[in-house]
Structure 1
Amino acid sequence: MTRIQLVISDVDGTLVTTDKRLTDRARDAVARLEDSGVGFTLTSSRPPVGMRMYSDPLGITLPLGPFNGSSIVDPELTVIEQHLIPDHAVATSLDLFARNGIDVWLFTNDNWYIRRDDGKYVPHEQRTIQFAPAMVDDFAPLAGQACKIVGVSADFALLKRCEPELQAALGDRALAVRSQDYYLDVTPPGRSKGTFVQAMAQRLGIAAEAIATIGDMQNDLPMFGVSGLPIAMGNATDDVKHQAAHVTARNDDDGFAAAIDFILDRNASLDR
């Protein structure tokens, strides 16, 4: 076994509770990681502005991976590396969502655009990322700026069916993956939470095997596939749990803190 030198965590459903709270145990767990010499950072489907309310209180000094790791920003949210969805992939995504009656949001690096307020998920997202959307009639003028497109629906089964259909239509032009049961994300090609893990390994000069990753959804699987110690939350679906080396407690039961305890105990056993 390799000693863990860096932990990369998802945010929603992992680091925070269902009501988006950062618990005292989670804060203490990150502090103990730092005290033991293990680095810590976050990657999320959230835009950069939606990560800062957690990265600041946790004192994170390493780069963050917003938009499912397809961008890399410093703790002040200055862009280090950014990739955009190609125009033709934007058009393909918008067309498939329209044909299936799925609402659409478009995120640029700095803004969130909607065409209507559905009264449910728009207010939910606004509370989650603490940032208000801008209303537009047409996404076409924004196509060259798209960091993420989201198909939004309360029909979870519909989004699950559309996920492979959209990925097949996109081919290698973009990545389509659910970040929540109600969100189907489209992000730039060749970039994922997995490539963020690899970028952090290169940046820090460590092996990917020395990185632990913690997550709960399908968009976390790419980082599970390249990290040395993938940990699934207790609230994750079975297909996500099956790809993990360890399963911790649920996010509402301080499963994140329990995962950090597991990592630190594992390191301690290797140090003996």
Structure 2
Amino acid sequence: MTRIQLVISDVDGTLVTTDKRLTDRARDAVARLEASGVGFTLTSSRPPVGMRMYSDPLGITLPLGPFNGSSILTPTLEVIEQHLIPEAAVTTSIALFERNGIDIWLFTNDNWYIRRDDGKYVPHEENTIQFAPTKLDDLTPLAGKACKIVGVSADFALLRRCEPELQAALGGGALAVRSQDYYLDVTPPGHSKGTFVQAMAKRLGVAADAIATIGDMQNDLPMFGVSGLPIAMGNATDDVKRQAAHVTGRNDDDGFAAAIDFILDRNARLDR
């Protein structure tokens, strides 16, 4: 086994509770992790503005990976690296979502656009990222600025069926993956939470085997595949758990803090 030197965590369903709280145990766990000399940062499907509410109180000093890791920003949200969805992929995604009656959101680096404001999940997302959307009837003029497109539906089975269909239609033009049961994300091609982990490893000079990753959804699997210690939350689906080396507790039961305890105990055994 290799001593863990860096931990990269997902946010929703992982770091925070279902009602988006950062618990005292989670704060304490990150403080103890960094006191032991282990680095910590976050990657999420969230836009940059939706990550700072947690990175600031945790005192994170390493780069963040918003938009499923397709962008890399400083903790003060200055862009280090950013990739956009090709316009053809934007058009393909919007068309498929429209055919299936799925709500469409489009995120640029600094804004969030919706076509209707009566959707069930608009208030939920606004509360989650603490940022209000801009309503536009036509999103196509923004096709050249899209960092992420989200298909939104309360029909979880519909999004599950659309995920492989959309990925097939996009080919290598973009990545389509669910970040929640109700969100199907489209992000730039060739970039994922996995490439964010690899970029952080290179930036910090840390071997992949010395990185632990924590997550709960399909969009976390790319980082599981390139890290030495992938940890699934107890609330993760079975297919995500099967790709993990360890399964911790649920996010509403301080499973994140328990995962950090597991990492620290593992390091302590190796240090003896």
Same fold (TM over 0.5): yes
The equivalent residue for 2:182 is 182
- Map 1:253-264; keep pairs closer than 5 Å: 253-264=253-264
Unaligned runs of 5+ in 1: none
Q: What aligned pairs does 1:210-249 form with structure 2 within 5 A after superposition? A: 210-249=210-249
Cα shift readout 1:17-58 (whole Å, capped 9, x = no counterpart): 000000000000000001000000000000000000000000
Q: CA deviation at 1:119?
A: 4.2
Deviations 1:112-162 (A, max 9, x none): 000001342000000000000001011111000000000000000000000
Report what 2:164 is aligned to.
164
Residue type at the aligned position of 2:80: I
Deviation beyond 3 Å, 4+ runs, structure 1: none
Amino acid at match of 1:123: P
Asked whether 1:37 is paired with 2:37, we answer yes
Q: Which residue of 2 aligns with 1:94?
A: 94
**Aligned residues: CA RMSD:** 0.4
Judge conservation of contact 2:103–2:119 (CA < 8 Å) in 1: no
TM-score normalised by the chain length of structure 2:
1.00
Q: CA deviation at 1:164?
A: 0.3
User: Which sections of structure 2, spanning at least 5 residues, go unmatched?
Assistant: none
Task: Output aligned runs, 1:57-68, within 5 Å.
Answer: 57-68=57-68
Counterpart of 1:112, as a letter, is W
**Tell me, what secondary structure is at the counterpart of 1:88?**
helix
SS at match of 1:226: coil
Distance across 2 between alignment mates of 1:42 and 1:232: 15
Identity %: 89
Residues matched between the structures, number: 272
| 2:132 matches 1:136 | no
Q: Note the alpha carbon deviations across 1:65-85, whole angstroms, 9 max, x for none.
A: 000000000000000000000
Provide the rounded CA distance (Å) in 2 between the counterparts of 1:118 and 1:202.
44
Determine the C-alpha separation between the residues in 1 that align with 2:208 and 2:55: 22
Aligned-partner Cα distance in 1 for 2:148–2:183: 11
Aligned partner letter, 1:153: S
SS in 1 for 2:195: helix
1:42-61 equivalences under 5 Å are 42-61=42-61
